[in-house]
Chain A
Amino acid sequence: MNATHAGFILAAYLICIGVVGGLIVVTWLDHRRLKRALAQFEGRRGSDAP
């Protein structure tokens, strides 16, 4: 493999992995945060119930 072009290939794949991986992590963290917030709300509502 041509060494100069190997850098371009590596950079392309790393950027792809970085963008897609970042998107997966952000979506997953968002899901965790939302689930926790919903659980807190439902817990608060449950404790407020007569």
Chain B
Amino acid sequence: MLKYANPTFFLPLVAKLLPWLAGATVAAFAIGIWGAFFSAPADYQQGETVRIMYIHVPAAWLSMFCYATMTASALGTLVWRHPLADAAQKAAAPIGAAFTFVCLVTGSLWGKPMWGTWWVWDARLTSVLVLFVIYLGLIALWQTIEDPGRAARGAAILTLVGVVNLPIIKFSVDWWNTLHQPASVFRMGGPTIAPSMLWPLLVMGIAFTLLFTTLHLMATRNEILRRRLRRLAIQTATGETNAQPTHRLTMTGGAE
């Protein structure tokens, strides 16, 4: 397993896996969307608006799953200093931010007709907004610190600090009185959703997970190539600098 966590083995493996993953993602979305619109019934209280659930809930799951993946990568960076861990963590942040954004916007579009408001500062919504801000903060951190090693360590520490938000998101609906409904799928005593609505939701959850895996592999591959390019640029610049010292500043700048 660890053999494939080496960039030399990782890149060919990704090239082989991506077409299969992309195909499985499209197939899962096709079944999930069909189930959400043509098989699942309308809710007896919410009517057709409940169909927003089939993208809102999987996006919420993935926003947290993505952060959990980043936390595992952060441990890989700080504890084992694995070369692929930092690349995987950096690649996951924009994907996590995108899923969290989708979760917030679709939740708002669901909340307006059901609650009569686009937004309330209740514990669930606010903690998910905090997660979105943490993602943006991590992306900004990587952009701001020029030295990749320092950026990786800083981002890993911030990620580990931010992981405290995950149980807050999960249990916010139990710990505080919120407008947001309590857990109805992953809860003690089993799901409270009708099976006719549950299966399309679970299929959409699988589709979103496959989408995340596909995007994450693509983005991690890009990060490895970016680092390879950076190293080549520095090597080339150093070589040319040694030959022509007067061009040093320009070449170093170009390398960055």
Contacts and interface: CB of A to CB of B under 8 A. Distances in A.
B232 interface: yes
Given A12-B106, A15-B105, A38-B225, A20 B98 contact: yes
Chain B contact residues: helix, strand, loop or mixed? helix
Contacts of A27: 215, 218-219, 222
B11 to A, nearest CB: 11
Interface in A1-29: 1-2, 4-6, 8-9, 11-13, 15-16, 19-20, 23-24, 27-28
Nearest to A28: B218
Contacts, number: 78
Contacts of A9: 48-49, 51-52, 109
Contacts of A24: 215
Contacts of B245: none
B156 interface: no
B229 A16 contact: no
Interface residues of A, number: 28
A20 B48 CA distance: 23
B225 A16 contact: no
Nearest to A29: B222
Interface of B: 47-49, 51-52, 55-56, 59, 94-95, 98, 101-102, 105-106, 109-110, 112-113, 211, 215, 218-219, 221-222, 225-226, 228-229, 232-233, 236
28 contacts: A1-B47, A2-B48, A5-B47, A8-B110, A8-B113, A9-B48, A9-B49, A9-B52, A12-B55, A12-B105, A12-B109, A13-B55, A15-B105, A16-B55, A16-B59, A16-B106, A20-B102, A24-B215, A30-B222, A31-B222, A34-B222, A34-B229, A38-B228, A38-B229, A41-B229, A41-B233, A42-B232, A44-B236
